Amino acid sequence: MRNKLLHLPRRNKRLLTALFDIAAIWGCLWLALAIRLQAVNIQGVLIANHWQTFALVPLCALPFFIRMGLYRAVLRYMGQHSVGVIVRAAIYATALWLLLDFMLGIDELVPRSVPVMYCLLLIATMCATRYIMRSWLLGQSVQSIFKTVANPFPARLAHKGIPIAIYGAGQAGVQLMGALHRGRDYHPVAFLDDDRNLRGQMMGGVPVYHSEQFTLMMENTRAEEVLLALPSLPRSHRRQLVEKIEPFGLPIRTMPGMADLVSGRMKMQDIRDIDIGDVLGREEVKPDQELLEKDIANQVVLVTGAGGSIGSELCRQILKVGPAALILLEHSEFNLYQLDQELQTTIRRLGIKVQLVPVLGSVNDPQRLVDLMSTYGIDTIYHAAAYKHVPIVEHNISQGLRNNVLGTLYTAQAAILCGVKRFVLISTDKAVRPTNVMGASKRLAEMVLQGLSEEKTVSFLHPELFQCADQKIPNNTRFTMVRFGNVLGSSGSVIPLFRKQIRQGGPVTVTHQDINRYFMTIPEAAQLVIQAGAMGEGGDVFVLDMGRPVKIVDLAHRMIHLSGLSVKDTANPDGDIDVVFSGLRPGEKLYEELLIGENVAGTDHPRISRAHEEWLAWGELTDIIEKMLDTTHGHRYQLTRELLLRYVNGFKPSDKVVDWLFHSPSKQIEEDIVA
Helix (H) or strand (E) holding 643, with range, is helix 637-647
Q: How many CA atoms lie within 13 A of 212 on its CB side?
A: 5
How many Å is the Cα radius of gyration of the chain? 35
Least confidently predicted of 16-30, 68-82, 376-390: 68-82
Whether residues 108 and 67 fall in one domain: yes
Task: Return the beta strands (E) in 256-341 as ranges.
Answer: 272-273, 300-304, 325-330
Residue 632 has pLDDT above 70, yes or no: yes
Range of the domain at 135: 2-150
Whether residues 145 and 187 fall in one domain: no
Residue 449 has pLDDT above 60, yes or no: yes
Helix (H) or strand (E) holding 334, with range, is helix 333-350
- Rounded distance, CA 606 to CA 277, Å? 20
Residue 506 lies in a domain: no
Whether residues 49 and 106 fall in one domain: yes
At 256-312, the pLDDT tens digits run 554 444 444 445 454 556 666 666 656 667 889 999 999 999 999 999 999 998 999
pLDDT at 528: 92
Looking at per-residue pLDDT, the higher value among 154 and 427 belongs to 427
Residue 501 lies in a domain: no
Helix (H) or strand (E) holding 482, with range, is strand 478-484
Q: What percent of the chain has pLDDT over 70?
A: 79
Residue 671 lies in a domain: no
- Rounded distance, CA 208 to CA 14, Å? 17
Q: What is the DSSP letter of 270?
A: G
Report CA torsion sign: 293, 295, 299, 305. negative
Average pLDDT over the chain, rounded to whole? Answer: 81
The partner residues of 210 in beta bridges, in order of sequence, read 193
Whether residues 327 and 455 fall in one domain: yes
- Rounded distance, CA 630 to CA 627, Å? 5
Residue 452 lies in a domain: yes
Contacts of 494 (CB under 8 A, 6+ apart): 486, 517, 552, 555
Beta-sheet pairing, 325-330 with 516-517: unpaired
**Angle value at C-alpha 243, between 242 and 248, nearest 5 degrees:** 90
CATH of the domain at 173: 3.40.50.720
Whether residues 262 and 190 fall in one domain: yes
Whether residues 344 and 472 fall in one domain: yes
Whether residues 109 and 136 fall in one domain: yes
pLDDT at 673: 46
pLDDT at 138: 53
Contacts of 478 (CB under 8 A, 6+ apart): 421, 422, 423, 453, 536, 537, 538
First to last CA, the chain: 87
- Rounded distance, CA 316 to CA 342, Å? 9
- Rounded distance, CA 441 to CA 408, Å? 10
Crossing angle of helices 113-137 and 10-37, in 10° steps, is: 140
Contact 373, 304 (CB under 8 A): no
Identify the three-state secondary structure at position 186. Answer: strand
Looking at per-residue pLDDT, the higher value among 635 and 64 belongs to 635
Whether residues 269 and 299 fall in one domain: no
Crossing angle of helices 113-137 and 142-150, in 10° steps, is: 150
Q: Looking at mean pLDDT, say which of 16-20, 496-500, 589-593 comes out highest.
A: 496-500
Residue 650 lies in a domain: no
- Rounded distance, CA 236 to CA 284, Å? 10
Query: Quick one: CA torsion of 24, 30, 33, 36, rounded to 10 degrees?
Result: -80
CB atoms within 10 A of CB 457: 10
Residue 674 lies in a domain: no
Residue 638 lies in a domain: no
Whether residues 78 and 219 fall in one domain: no
Return phi, psi of residue 640, to 5°: -60, -45
Domain boundary among 150, 177, 209: 150
pTM of the entire structure? 0.69
pLDDT at 526: 92
Whether residues 409 and 447 fall in one domain: yes
Contact 18, 62 (CB under 8 A): yes
pLDDT at 27: 80
At 94-152, the pLDDT tens digits run 888 778 777 776 656 667 777 788 888 888 887 777 767 766 655 555 555 555 445 44
Whether residues 18 and 77 fall in one domain: yes
Residue 251 lies in a domain: yes
Q: How many residues does the chain have?
A: 675
Whether residues 349 and 249 fall in one domain: no
Percent helix / strand / coil, the chain, rounded to 5: 50, 15, 35
Number of domains in the chain: 3
pLDDT at 667: 37
Query: Closest Cα to residue 610, out of 624, 626, 597, 628?
Result: 597
pLDDT at 83: 73
Contacts of 525 (CB under 8 A, 6+ apart): 310, 313, 484, 487, 544
